Structure formats: structure tokens, C-alpha cells
Amino acid sequence: MTGLVNRREFERQLADHLSVCRHTFSCDSTSILLYVDLDRFKMVNDTCGHAAGDRMLVEIALLMGHCLSGNDTLVSRVKN
């Protein structure tokens, strides 16, 4: 729906990145992990419907995606 990387792909990319860092004892770039929690998102789904919640997620993904470079990864959802 959002076109973002899912949890499984995020975990694979993170493992690959950490493996490179461990084996070379350094990373060629700065690594940052930013966790964003959408407070009261369930309330959006419950009061406005799942279609509105889906549109909200897509819009947030687009807005955040505009702030990233080509080497950055934006993940859609990590929680189970």
C-alpha cells in the first residue's frame, strides 16, 4: 500500500549493514535509526475508517520519503 520496505526486508538490510560494520570494524557512513510511533492511530481507523487510515499512512510515507537520500531506507512497520 505505501510502497515502503516491510519488517522482513528491514531486518535483512540491517543484518547486512551490521555485518559489514563488524567485519570491517567501521562503517563508511553514519548509521541512524529513527523510530516514529503514530500516537492514537487506532483512533483514526476506528472513527474515520480503515480507508482514511490507509490514506494517512500513504501521505506520511510520502512526506517522510521526501526527506531521504537514495541510500536511506524507510520502513513501513516493525511491530507485529
Query: What are the extents of the domains in the chain?
Result: 7-65
Report pLDDT for 80: 47
What would the grid cell of residue 79 be? 511491530
pTM of the predicted model as reported, rounded to 2 decimal places: 0.68
Looking at per-residue confidence, does 72 or 56 come out higher?
Answer: 56
Looking at per-residue confidence, does 12 or 23 come out higher?
Answer: 12
Task: Give the confidence band of 29 by pLDDT, cuts at 50, 70, 90.
Answer: low
Report pLDDT for 5: 82
Report pLDDT for 27: 60
User: Per this entry, what is the length of the chain?
Assistant: 80
Q: What is the mean pLDDT of the chain?
A: 83
Looking at per-residue confidence, does 79 or 71 come out higher?
Answer: 71
In the predicted model, what is the mean pLDDT of residues 31-58?
A: 89
Nearby residues of 6 by Cβ (< 8 Å), 6 or more positions away: 75, 76, 77
